[in-house]
C-alpha cells in the first residue's frame, strides 16, 4: 500500500545575499549553452536524521544564514533571468519555503516513491518563470528534515548544482575554505540569436510516470560481462557500469514496448557529457554554468548485438566530444541548426529519443550542514519522457536508475521479466 504524504507549507520568505553584489557584476550574460538549455528546474531532495538537540527554529535559522552567505558568492542565483539573455543580479533573493511533513521520516523512507518527492520542492519543475533557484525545508514529525533544492537549468548544469549545494553546506557547518565559483561562460560560448528554436521542446506536464530501479554490485557486474566486447577472447573489454546499464535499459525498453516492430523511424540514444575536462585548457569543476552537451548515437534495430550495439556506438560518440568539438561549438550557429532539425523530427514523430544522464561519482552524499551527511538523496518525477538518471546508492557500490516514461510505456517496462531479474528492492534506509 502506497503511503500518502501530507506536506503543509508553514511559511515562505525571501533570502537575499549577505552582502550587496558590486555594480560591475550586476549583469550576468547567459552563454549560448545557457540559451539553449530548457527552462526547467533541476531538483534534488536530501534527507537528514533527527535534530541532535537542535530545535526546528535553530536549524532553519542556520540554513537561512548560511544560504545568505552562499548567495553572496553565487550571486546570479539571487537575481532574475531576463529574456533568455542575461541574469539581472539585483540581489532580489530566492524563495525559502518552510513546510511540515505529517509522518515519521523512517516511515517515508521505507518506500519512497519519486512522485512523492515533488511535494518536498517549492515549485513545479516547469514553473521556473524568472527564478534561478528556490529552496523548501521540510520537517518531519520525528525531527528529521528534507531539504529540497531547485536550480534553473537555464543558468546551471548538474556539476554547478552540486558546487552550490556543497558550498552552502560547508558554510553552514562552519568551514572556512569555501570554493569561489568562476563565472563567465558567455566569453567561451558567446550568446547568439536563437529565434526559431524553442528550448522548452520536449517538456511534458502530464502522463509521465517515474520509477526507480536499483541495481546491486553483483548484477551490475553481470551486465558488464553480458555486454563485454569479446572479439579479443584473451582480453575482453568490459563496458563501464553506466555503459552497461544504459544498453540494458534501452534494450529492455525497446523489447517491452515492442518498439522494434512498429513503423520505421530513427532512434537516438543520448548521454550527457561534461565539457570542462574536454576543453583545452580544461576548466575547473567550479566553473559555473551550462558547460555540458549530449553525445548522440543512432542505433540500428537490424544489429544483432545485445542492446543493438549501443555500448560501442555511444562510446565512439562520446570520444568525438573533444577539444575540436568544443571549438566548433563556440560558433553556435552550426549546433543550433542541428538542434532545430532534431526538434522538428521529434515533433513530427520521425525520431524517438532516449536520454541518459549520470550523477554517479558526483558528490551526491557530501552535503553536511552540520548534522552529518544525508541518509538518502533523491530527485523527483521529471517533466520529460524517455529519460533515465543514474545515482549512486548511499553505499556507493550500487546504482539507482530513475526512469521517466509515459504511463503506457512504464506499465510494460515495469513487468519486464528480464529487467526485474537484474534489479533488487530499494534498500530500506536506517534512520538513527
Choose the catalytic residue: 54, 285, 306, 368.
368
Which residues make beta-bridge pairs with 11? 98
Q: Could you give phi then psi for residue 8, rounded to 5 degrees?
A: -120, 125
Q: Kindly give the interhelix angle for 158-172 and 56-73, rounded to the nearest 10 degrees.
A: 130
Residue 251 near residue 354 (C-beta atoms within 8 A)? no
Say whether 229 is catalytic: no
Is the CB of residue 286 less than 8 Å from the CB of residue 180?
yes
Annotation marks residue 368 as catalytic = yes
The SS3 assignment for 141 reads coil
- How far apart CA 204 and CA 423 sit, in angstroms, is 28
Q: How far is CA 406 from CA 10, 16, 253, 411, 414, in A?
A: 34, 39, 12, 9, 12
- From the list 28, 34, 153, 335, the catalytic residue is 153
**How far does Cα 226 stand from its chain's mean position?**
28
8 Å CB contact between 244 and 301: no
Distance CA 40, CA 290 (A): 13
Identify the H or E element spanning 138. strand 133-140
CA distances from residue 156 to 75, 161, 276, 285 in whole angstroms, order as listed: 13, 6, 13, 12
Q: Which residues are catalytic?
A: 153, 368
Amino acid at each position: 500500500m502506497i503511503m500518502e504524504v501530507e506536506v503543509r507549507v508553514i511559511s515562505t520568505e525571501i533570502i537575499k545575499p549577505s552582502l550587496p553584489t558590486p555594480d560591475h557584476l550586476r549583469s550576468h550574460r547567459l552563454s549560448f549553452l545557457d540559451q539553449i538549455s530548457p527552462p526547467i528546474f533541476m531538483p534534488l531532495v536530501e534527507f537528514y536524521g533527527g535534530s541532535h538537540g537542535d530545535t526546528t527554529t535553530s536549524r532553519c535559522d542556520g540554513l537561512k544564514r548560511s544560504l545568505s552567505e552562499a548567495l553572496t558568492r553565487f550571486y546570479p542565483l539571487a537575481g532574475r533571468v531576463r529574456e533568455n539573455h542575461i541574469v539581472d543580479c539585483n540581489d532580489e533573493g530566492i524563495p525559502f519555503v518552510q513546510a511540515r511533513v505529517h509522518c515519521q521520516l523512517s516511515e517515508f523512507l521505507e518506500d519512497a516513491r519519486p512522485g512523492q518527492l515533488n511535494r518536498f520542492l517549492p515549485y513545479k519543475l516547469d514553473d521556473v518563470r524568472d527564478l534561478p533557484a528556490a529552496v523548501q525545508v521540510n520537517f518531519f514529525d520525528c525531527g528529521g528534515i528534507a531539504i529540497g533544492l531547485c536550480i534553473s537549468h537555464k543558468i546551471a548544469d548538474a556539476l554547478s548544482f552540486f558546487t552550490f549545494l556543497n558550498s552552502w553546506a560547508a558554510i553552514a557547518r562552519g568551514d572556512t575554505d569555501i570554493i569561489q565559483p568562476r563565472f563567465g561562460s558567455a566569453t567561451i560560448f558567446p550568446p547568439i540569436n536563437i529565434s526559431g528554436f524553442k528550448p522548452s521542446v520536449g517538456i511534458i506536464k502530464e502522463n509521465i510516470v517515474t520509477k526507480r530501479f536499483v541495481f546491486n554490485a553483483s548484477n551490475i557486474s553481470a551486465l558488464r560481462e553480458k555486454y563485454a566486447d569479446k572479439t579479443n577472447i584473451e582480453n575482453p573489454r568490459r563496458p563501464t557500469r553506466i555503459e552497461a546499464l544504459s544498453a540494458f535499459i534501452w534494450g529492455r525498453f525497446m523489447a517491452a514496448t515492442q518498439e522494434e516492430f512498429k513503423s520505421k523511424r530513427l532512434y537516438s540514444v543520448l548521454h550527457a557529457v561534461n565539457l570542462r575536462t574536454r576543453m583545452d585548457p580544461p576548466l575547473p569543476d567550479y566553473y559555473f554554468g551550462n558547460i555540458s552537451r549530449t553525445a548522440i548515437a543512432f542505433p540500428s534495430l537490424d544489429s544483432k548485438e545485445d542492446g543493438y550495439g549501443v555500448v560501442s556506438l555511444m562510446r565512439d560518440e562520446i570520444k568525438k566530444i573533444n577539444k575540436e568539438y568544443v571549438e566548433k561549438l563556440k560558433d553556435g550557429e552550426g549546433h543550433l541548426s542541428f538542434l532545430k532539425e532534431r526538434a522538428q523530427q521529434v515533433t513530427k514523430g520521425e525520431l524517438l529519443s532516449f536520454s541518459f544522464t549520470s550523477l554517479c561519482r558526483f558528490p551526491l552524499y557530501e552535503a553536511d550542514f552540520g548534522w552529518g551527511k544525508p541518509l538518502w538523496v533523491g530527485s523527483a518525477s521529471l517533466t520529460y519522457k524517455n529519460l533515465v538518471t543514474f545515482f549512486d546508492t548511499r553505499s556507493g557500490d550500487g546504482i539507482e536508475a530513475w526512469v521517466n516514461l509515459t504511463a503506457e510505456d512504464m506499465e510494460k517496462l515495469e513487468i519486464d521479466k528480464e529487467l526485474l531479474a537484474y534489479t533488487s528492492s530499494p534498500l530500506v534506509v536506517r534512520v538513527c
